[in-house]
Homo-oligomer: A and B are copies of this chain.
Amino acid sequence: MVPLLVRGPAWLFQWRAACTLGAFVQQRTWAGVSRIPGLGGPLVQRGSSSASSQAPEVVLTRERYPVRRLPFAQVSEDDLAALERIVPGRVITDPEELEAPNVDWLRTVRGSSKVLLRPRTSQEVAHILRYCHERNLAVSPQGGNTGMVGGSVPVFDEIILSTTLMNQVMSFHDVSGVLVCQAGCILEELGRYVEERGFLMPLDLGAKGSCHIGGNVATNAGGLRFLRYGSLRGTVLGLEVVSRGHHCGPASQVLADGTILNCLTSLRKDNTGYDLKQLFIGSEGTLGVITAVSILCPPKPSAVNVAFLGCPGFAEVLQTFSTCRQKLGEILSAFEFMDAECMKLVELHLRLASPVRESPFYVLIETSGSGAGHDAEKLSDFLEQVLGSGLVTDGTLATDQRRIKMLWSLRERITEALSRDGYVYKYDLSLPVERLYDLVSDLRARLGPRAKHVVGYGHLGDGNLHLNVTAEAFDVSLLGALEPYVYEWTARQRGSVSAEHGLGFKKRDVLCYSKPPEALQLMQQLKALLDPKGILNPYKTLPARA
C-alpha cells in the first residue's frame, strides 16, 4: 500500500510543499529554466532547412555507396506530359525545389530525382502507380522525410511521390476515438486535432512536427508512447493502400495496375481472413503506398507528470526502472534514459542546461493517468523509495504543460544535437535490457579518440538503445571499426539491428543479423508477389542480392 504523506482535499498541493524532493527540485528546475535560453521554445522541425542550410553539400548516394542502378526506364518528356494529366499543376521539376526532397534529414544520403509528384487523392496515386508500372518507372514514396535510414529519399532518379497534399482528416468518432485520415497528415497536427476532442495520438516522436502519419505507419514507428500504448500493429485499425496490383485471374496472372486496397475499417476487432494491413505496416513503401490510415486514439489522460532524474550508474537506471514499474504500474507512460555525453551535446549545441546535478545517467519518467491526486501519490511513493535507496541522486518534477515540454525537449532534441556535432553513425538496437549499455562502453574503449562522441540513449522501457557515434566527417575506416562489429555484438545477444527505424537504404544489408534465411526468402517472395517489377521504393528494405 502507498504510504500517504498528506490527507485532505488540498493534499496534492500540500504534498508538493511537504515532499522534500518535490520542493527542492522544483526550485532548482525553475531557477535552472530561467537561465536556459531556447529550452522549451518551438522544436526545430525535422525536414526544415533551418538546422542545416549552411551545411556542405551531401555526397550523392550512388557515389558514396556501392549500389548499381536497376534497369528502370528514365522519365521522358512524354512521361511528364502524361503525369501532368494525372496530377495537373502538381508535377515538380524545378531543380531548386527538388533539392530538399532528394536529401534525407540527417544529410547522409542524396538522390538525383528530377520529378516530384503531389497527388491529393488515392485515385491519383493509383493512376500514377499504374502509369509507372506500365512504363517501368521507379517510384520513391515520401512523407515528411524524417527517416533515419535513408528510406524516404530516392537512391538514383526514382520519381518522388510526395504525400504532402494528402493531408485531410476524413473522420473522427468522438466516442470510440477512431481517427481516419489521409496519409500526409502531420503527426503533431493530428495530435492537436484529437487532443481538442479529448483524445491522444497513440504515438509520439521527436519528428512529430514534420513526419506524416502514413510514413509513421510505413516504418512502423515506435517512439515515446510505445511503452504505454503499444505498437502500431495494435493501434492501427485499418489502412487504404495503393499497391502495384494483386489481381489474379484463373491462372494467378498478376495484372499491371495500381489497385486500391481498401481495408480502412474502424473496428477494434475484425477476424475476417488474413490481416492484410499488417503486410504494409513497416514495409517502408516497398509493397504499396499507404494513402489513408484508421487509428485508435486513447482518451487523453487528465493528469500528466514528468520526472527528470539523475542516476549514479546504469545498474541504478535498471533498478529505477524496476521500482518504477512496481510503484507506478498502469500510469507509467514513458521511461527514457540518456547518458552524460548526451547531456553534454544538448548543452553544447542547443544551449540547453541540465535541470539536475551532473550525473552519469539521466532518466525521464512520464506518468499519464485519470486522477491527478492518485498519480501524484504514486509518484511520491516511488520518488521516496529511489531517493532513499540512492538509486537516484537528484531530480526534478513537472506537472504543467510548458515545463513538461521543457524536460521532454532535453530527450527529444538529442538527435538534433548529434546532427550538429558532425557526421553521425546511427544504430537503433533492441537488446536485452541488462546488456543495453555494455555496447556503448565497449565501443567507447574500442574506438578511442577516433570517435568524437559515443553516446547512448533511448527507450529503456522497451529495451531500445539509440547508439550514436559522431566524427568530424564521414570516414570509411571508422565505419569499418563500427560495422559489422555492432551488428555481430547485437546478433550474439539475439537482439534486433533495427528496433524502430526500419532498414531503408542504409541498413538493408544487415537484415541477416536479425532474421534467418528462411524469413528473408519469404520476404523476397512477398515483394515479388506485390511488386513484380520492383518499382516501389527500390534499393530499400531487402538486401541487394536476390
In the assembled complex, the Cα of A523 lies from the Cα of B252 at a distance in Å of 12
Asked if B499 and A269 make an inter-chain contact with CB atoms under 8 angstroms apart, the answer reads yes
Cβ–Cβ < 8 Å partners of A402 in chain B: none
Asked if B269 and A462 make an inter-chain contact with CB atoms under 8 angstroms apart, the answer reads yes
In the assembled complex, the Cα of A9 lies from the Cα of B514 at a distance in Å of 52
In the assembled complex, the Cα of A330 lies from the Cα of B372 at a distance in Å of 13
Chain B proximity mask over A1-41: 1 for CB below 8 Å, otherwise 0: 11010011100000000000000000000000000000000
In the assembled complex, the Cα of A325 lies from the Cα of B246 at a distance in Å of 42
- With A246-B522, A328-B370, A525-B246 in contact, do A273 and B511 touch (Cβ < 8 Å)? yes
In the assembled complex, the Cα of A499 lies from the Cα of B267 at a distance in Å of 9
Cβ–Cβ < 8 Å partners of A248 in chain B: 521, 524-525
Asked if B370 and A371 make an inter-chain contact with CB atoms under 8 angstroms apart, the answer reads no
Partner of A463, one of B176, B230, B430, B514: B176
A495 within 8 A of B: yes
**Residue with the greatest number of chain B CB neighbours at <10 A, chosen from A4, A273, A322, A459:** A273
A207, chain B: closest CB distance, angstroms: 15
Asked if B272 and A283 make an inter-chain contact with CB atoms under 8 angstroms apart, the answer reads no
In the assembled complex, the Cα of A146 lies from the Cα of B497 at a distance in Å of 39
Asked if B523 and A268 make an inter-chain contact with CB atoms under 8 angstroms apart, the answer reads no
Asked if B265 and A271 make an inter-chain contact with CB atoms under 8 angstroms apart, the answer reads no
Asked if B500 and A271 make an inter-chain contact with CB atoms under 8 angstroms apart, the answer reads yes
In the assembled complex, the Cα of A246 lies from the Cα of B519 at a distance in Å of 9
**Residue with the greatest number of chain B CB neighbours at <10 A, chosen from A252, A274, A281, A494:** A274
A48 within 8 A of B: no
List A residues 370-419 near B (Cβ within 8 Å). 370-374, 377-378
Number of interface residues of A (CB under 8 A): 104
A365, chain B: closest CB distance, angstroms: 15
Asked if B325 and A273 make an inter-chain contact with CB atoms under 8 angstroms apart, the answer reads no
A85 within 8 A of B: no
Q: Which residue of B lies closest to A520 (CB)?
A: B273
Partner of A494, one of B9, B266, B273, B499: B266
A301 within 8 A of B: yes
Cβ–Cβ < 8 Å partners of A370 in chain B: 326-330, 378
A394, chain B: closest CB distance, angstroms: 26
Cβ–Cβ < 8 Å partners of A1 in chain B: 371-373
In the assembled complex, the Cα of A522 lies from the Cα of B277 at a distance in Å of 11
Cβ–Cβ < 8 Å partners of A108 in chain B: none
A357 within 8 A of B: no
A336, chain B: closest CB distance, angstroms: 14
A-B contact pairs, 15 of them (CB 8 A): A2-B374, A7-B7, A176-B432, A234-B235, A246-B522, A259-B518, A268-B462, A268-B464, A276-B523, A279-B279, A327-B370, A371-B377, A374-B374, A374-B377, A526-B529
